Amino acid sequence: MLILECPYCGVKAEETEFHAGGEAHIKRFGPGSSDADFEGYLFNRENPKGVHFERWRHANGCGKWFHVVRCTMTLEVFGSYSAQVSEPPQEIRDAITAKRPGWCWRDFA
C-alpha cells in the first residue's frame, strides 16, 4: 500500500484516501496536430519498472489534484508536488537521484 502526502493540505495517508489519475505531465495534442502526435497523446504511456510520475487526487480530503513520483517496483514514494507545474521541481529530482542515481523518465532525469 502507498503512503502519499497531499502537498496542499499536508495530510499523509494511505492510498485509499486518494484516487489515482494516471500518468503525469502528458502534453495535450488537439485539433490541428498530426495523427501521430494525437495518437501518442491518447494512447502512448510509459510502463516503467522503477521511477514513475503520476497524477493523484485527494478525493476524500481537500479534493485537490497533485503529482506523485514513486517506484513501481518497490512502491517507494519519492515525493509529491503541485499540479500547477509542467515538470518536476528540482528538489523532487534530487530526492529521486538520492535513491535511484541515474534515473530517467521520458525527458526528465
What would the x/- binding string for other proteins be over residues 62 to 101, using CB under 8 A? xxx-------------------------------------
DSSP E strands in 1-109: the ranges are: 3-5, 12-14, 19-23, 51-57, 65-71, 77-82
Pick 9 or 104: Cβ nearer other proteins: 9
Residues 10 to 39: which contact other proteins by CB under 8 A? 10-11, 13-14, 16-17
User: What are the φ and ψ backbone dihedral angles of 27, each rounded to 5 degrees?
Assistant: -85, 130
Cβ atoms of residues 98 and 92 within 8 Å: no
Q: Can you read off the three cell numbers belonging to residue 79?
A: 515525493
| Total chain residues near other proteins (CB under 8 A) | 14
**Site residues (CB under 8 A) for other proteins?**
8-11, 13-14, 16-17, 59-64
